[in-house]
């Protein structure tokens, strides 16, 4: 068996190194590739390291079984899929090997040479370096065009961010394949230009340096600065705690000194870190449940300094050209568990953000004030969440918000509309494919925080109509627009899909589409009440919406919601379909816009369990009365009814339950 992507098949993958991160990379590979029958080989020169790595991995898998993340048979398949050995010849047959050895250029170069002596000439060799430029690692390689850096983040098996860093010699086809590969197996890769430290570690280590300097200046103790930085920046854990958890003191000390010459002079290894490395000591951070005391003045001073440093660090990365606003906003916040930097600057005002950076730079010689922040002072950053790339005369439009499974908000709709308008006006483009990032979700729904903020019927109606503006535009486009369900589509995600002219899906989706709004105490407000009956039939559509029960891919095909199921990534086939529709080789059946006939006067009796009877009444009236009208008139009725939901008690109960207890909790509706 094999994992195949773009005519490139993996029959075996390899990992070099069984130390800090190698076993975690192997765990991720076996989790996603074992179902394809692709074995994983881990090689280390030390048998003790192999034994420790194997034990570490098996402990994590056992924990996964205990928590329900894995079934027992899955766990057995995962652990049995890995070979642990000191023999490099075990890499024969690998077409992808990730090197995760010590951060030493000489050692890495020797490993590359040893690999090239064993693997096929076209094998991709990726280095999980945290700092070294790919040109250094592959300096002596026979085939540097097949080498690049793929930088994982802690913990490697769960953190979705990876930096993909090609060198000057790396072939574009290799880089493109690696980017697609990691997206298809559940990561969120970002493409980063080659520079020492890449894009995210200078932020991680820079924040640590800023925290250490606060301690050294007397602004607070290690515990105080750690806690204040955590609260101020929205960090999952403070910078000193992060150093302890990742064992990062030695490598950070080396990295900071190199940054001095390779980035700017503010970077350096602080005296306190040098002392910890010399003594091999961890930082004295707060114990579990320990409350850290500090004054309000302390908090403000340290918080402002850390915030100014944070904004300046991410701004410098953008100025350098190795990354961009969209990637940094998404990747830094996800990899480091910190507030999204450019969104945060927009929230507080870019002028205020600039002042914080200038204030920090004034008291920290060598710290630059980024040009990108200076230029945006007084106006918000444009943060792309919807991306376009053209393939064979077709615009592939992708929604990328992996942290929230591509959930929709008004800004996503605005960007989506802008891309669609550009497609419609581009004479060289035949049509569009709309898809989502990754493999879990096309779009998981509308942003719940946005919906929960609605307070009045007028606000609800206006919100619904804003959605309709974009979706009606897509539906009206002269050029064919195909939805490629790369994963599940719920709520607003499925409503977006139904505004497209046709839909295809990745084969085997156990959860394809659903309209679960009644669980939240609302009705579909982005076209679902009117489009779903027109695509799959009135009776089944009404049942889906009233019960909130989703359908799988096979059922979607039977009902006519999708026209095809596709093995693997559905986008290439969607591109083909757009060309077929545009070229007249295949008939495009658009949605029926006239009123539906033969509808009942009222909805049939149905046991809806705990769900709100008040919302069910609004839903049934909207579907029945709306479908008796032409489509666009029915959509206006839907918006009005959506607004009516906002002023019900059950809507607020549903939203609060979701936000506090999660999606699986059953709201205690009062039916009013």
Confidence of residue 611 (pLDDT cuts 50, 70, 90): very high
> Is residue 7 classed exposed, middle or buried when 0-12, 13-18 and 19+ CB atoms within 10 A define those classes?
exposed
What is the rounded average pLDDT of the residues 277-292?
Answer: 93
Is residue 524 within 8 Å of residue 638, measured between CB atoms? yes
pTM: 0.92
pLDDT above 90 as % of the chain:
93
Is residue 520 within 8 Å of residue 589, measured between CB atoms? no
What pLDDT is attached to residue 379? 95
Provide CB contacts within 8 A for 59, sequence distance 6+. Answer: none
Is a pLDDT exceeding 90 seen at residue 448? no
Catalytic residues: 495, 517
Which domains can be identified in the chain, with CATH numbers?
A: 3-191 (3.40.50.720), 201-376 (1.10.1040.50), 386-661 (3.90.226.10)
Is a pLDDT exceeding 90 seen at residue 484? yes
Is a pLDDT exceeding 90 seen at residue 1? no
Angle between helices 296-320 and 350-362 (to 10 degrees): 100
Q: 596-601 long-range CB contacts below 8 Å, 24 or more apart?
A: 596/533, 596/534, 596/538, 596/627, 596/628, 599/538, 599/624, 599/627, 599/628, 600/624
Whether omega for the bond prior to residue 420 falls within 30 degrees of 0, making it cis, is: no
Is a pLDDT exceeding 90 seen at residue 446? no
What pLDDT is attached to residue 246? 84
Strands 147-152 and 161-166: antiparallel
- Euclidean distance between CA atoms 39 and 51, whole angstroms: 18
Is a pLDDT exceeding 90 seen at residue 449? no
What is the rounded average pLDDT of the residues 109-134?
Answer: 96
Provide CB contacts within 8 A for 399, sequence distance 6+. Answer: 385, 386, 406, 408, 412, 416, 434, 435, 436, 437, 443
> Is residue 25 classed exposed, middle or buried when 0-12, 13-18 and 19+ CB atoms within 10 A define those classes?
buried
Angle between helices 201-216 and 325-336 (to 10 degrees): 60
Quick one: CA torsion of 42, 43, 46, 47, rounded to 10 degrees? 60
Helix or strand (DSSP H, E) at 13: strand 13-16
The neighbouring-strand residues paired with 382 are: none
DSSP, collapsed to helix, strand or coil, labels residue 53 as helix
DSSP, collapsed to helix, strand or coil, labels residue 155 as coil
Angle between helices 249-262 and 271-279 (to 10 degrees): 140
Where does 477-536 have alpha helices with state H? Answer: 492-499, 528-536
What pLDDT is attached to residue 267? 97
CB atoms within 10 A of CB 265: 12
Secondary structure (DSSP) of 580-645? HHHTTSS---PPP-SPP-S--SSPPP---TTS-HHHHHHHHHHHHHHHTS-HHHHHHHHHHHHHHH
What pLDDT is attached to residue 441? 96
Confidence of residue 134 (pLDDT cuts 50, 70, 90): very high
Secondary structure (DSSP) of 168-210? TT--HHHHHHHHHHHHHTT-EEEE----TTTTTHHHHHHHHHH
What pLDDT is attached to residue 447? 84
What pLDDT is attached to residue 364? 97
pLDDT above 70 as % of the chain:
100
pLDDT digits (tens, 9 = 90+) for 54-65: 999 999 999 999
Is a pLDDT exceeding 90 seen at residue 663? no
Helix or strand (DSSP H, E) at 562: none
pLDDT digits (tens, 9 = 90+) for 502-542: 999 999 999 999 999 999 999 999 999 999 999 999 999 99
Q: What mean pLDDT value characterizes the chain? A: 95
Provide CB contacts within 8 A for 605, sequence distance 6+. Answer: none
Confidence of residue 113 (pLDDT cuts 50, 70, 90): very high
What is the rounded average pLDDT of the residues 76-84?
Answer: 96
Q: Which of 534, 93, 158 is nearest to 334 (CA)?
A: 158
Is a pLDDT exceeding 90 seen at residue 664? no
Confidence of residue 232 (pLDDT cuts 50, 70, 90): very high
Is a pLDDT exceeding 90 seen at residue 12? yes
What pLDDT is attached to residue 268? 96
Provide CB contacts within 8 A for 515, sequence distance 6+. Answer: 490, 491, 494, 495, 524, 528, 532, 544, 545, 548
What pLDDT is attached to residue 32? 96
What is the rounded average pLDDT of the residues 630-657?
Answer: 95
């Amino acid at each position: 068996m094999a994992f195949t992507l773009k005519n490139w098949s993996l029959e075996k993958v390899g990992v070099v190194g069984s130390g800090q991160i190698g076993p975690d990379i192997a765990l991720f590979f076996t989790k996603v590739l074992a179902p394809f029958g692709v074995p994983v080989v881990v090689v280390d020169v030390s048998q003790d390291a192999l034994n420790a790595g194997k034990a570490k991995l098996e402990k994590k898998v056992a924990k996964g079984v205990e928590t329900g993340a894995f079934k027992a048979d899955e766990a057995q398949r995962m652990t049995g899929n890995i070979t642990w050995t000191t023999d490099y010849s075990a890499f024969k047959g690998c077409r992808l090997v990730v090197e995760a050895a010590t951060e030493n250029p000489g050692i890495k170069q020797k490993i590359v040479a040893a690999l090239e002596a064993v693997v096929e000439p076209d094998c991709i060799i990726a280095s999980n370096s945290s700092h070294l430029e790919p040109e250094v690692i592959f300096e002596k390689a026979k085939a540097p065009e097949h080498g690049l850096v793929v930088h994982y983040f802690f913990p490697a098996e769960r953190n979705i961010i990876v930096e993909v860093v090609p060198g000057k010699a790396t072939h574009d086809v290799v880089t493109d394949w690696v980017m697609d590969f990691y997206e298809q197996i559940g990561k969120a890769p970002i493409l980063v230009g080659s520079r020492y430290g890449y894009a995210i570690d200078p932020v991680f280590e820079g924040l640590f340096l800023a925290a250490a300097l606060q301690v050294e200046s007397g602004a607070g103790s290690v515990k105080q600065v750690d806690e204040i930085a955590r609260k101020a920046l929205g960090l999952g854990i403070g910078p000193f705690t992060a150093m302890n958890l990742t064992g990062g003191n030695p490598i950070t000390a080396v990295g900071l000194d190199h940054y001095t010459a390779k980035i700017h002079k503010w970077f350096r290894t602080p005296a306190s870190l040098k002392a910890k490395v010399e003594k091999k000591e961890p930082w004295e951070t707060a114990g579990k449940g320990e409350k850290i005391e500090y004054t309000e003045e302390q908090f403000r001073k340290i918080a402002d300094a850390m915030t100014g440093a944070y904004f300046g660090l991410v701004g410098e990365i953008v100025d350098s050209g190795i990354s961009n606003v969209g990637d940094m906003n998404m990747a830094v916040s996800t990899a480091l568990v910190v507030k999204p930097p450019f969104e945060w600057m927009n929230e507080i005002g870019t002028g205020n953000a600039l002042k914080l950076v200038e204030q920090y730079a004034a008291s920290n010689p060598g710290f630059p004030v980024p040009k990108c922040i200076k230029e945006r002072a007084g106006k918000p950053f444009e943060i792309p969440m919807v991306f376009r790339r053209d393939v064979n005369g077709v615009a592939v439009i992708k929604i990328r918000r992996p942290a929230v499974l591509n959930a929709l908000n008004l800004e996503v709709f605005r960007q989506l509309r802008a891309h669609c308008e550009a497609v419609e006006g581009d004479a060289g483009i035949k049509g569009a494919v709309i898809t989502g990032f990754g493999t879990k979700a096309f779009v998981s729904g509308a942003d719940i925080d946005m919906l929960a903020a609605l307070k009045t019927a007028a606000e609800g109606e206006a919100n619904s109509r804003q959605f309709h503006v974009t979706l009606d535009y897509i539906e009206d486009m002269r050029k064919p627009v195909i939805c490629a369900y790369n994963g599940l589509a719920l709520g607003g995600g499925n409503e977006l899909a139904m505004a497209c002219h046709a839909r295809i899906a990745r084969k085997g989706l156990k959860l394809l589409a659903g309209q679960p709004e009644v669980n939240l105490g609302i009705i579909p407000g982005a076209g679902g009440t009117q489009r779903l009956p027109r695509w799959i039939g009135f009776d089944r559509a009404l049942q889906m919406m009233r019960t909130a029960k989703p359908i799988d891919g096979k059922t979607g095909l039977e009902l006519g919601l999708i026209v095809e199921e596709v093995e693997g990534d559905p986008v290439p086939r969607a591109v083909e379909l757009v060309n077929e529709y545009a070229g007249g080789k295949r008939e495009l059946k658009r949605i029926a816009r006239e009123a539906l006939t033969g509808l009942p006067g009222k909805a049939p009796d149905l046991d809806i369990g705990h769900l709100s009877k008040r919302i069910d009444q609004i839903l049934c009236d909207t579907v029945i009365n709306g479908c008796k009208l032409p489509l666009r008139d029915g959509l206006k009725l839907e918006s009005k009814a959506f607004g009516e939901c906002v002023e019900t008690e059950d809507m607020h109960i549903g939203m609060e339950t979701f936000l506090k207890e999660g999606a699986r909790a059953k709201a205690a509706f009062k039916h009013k």
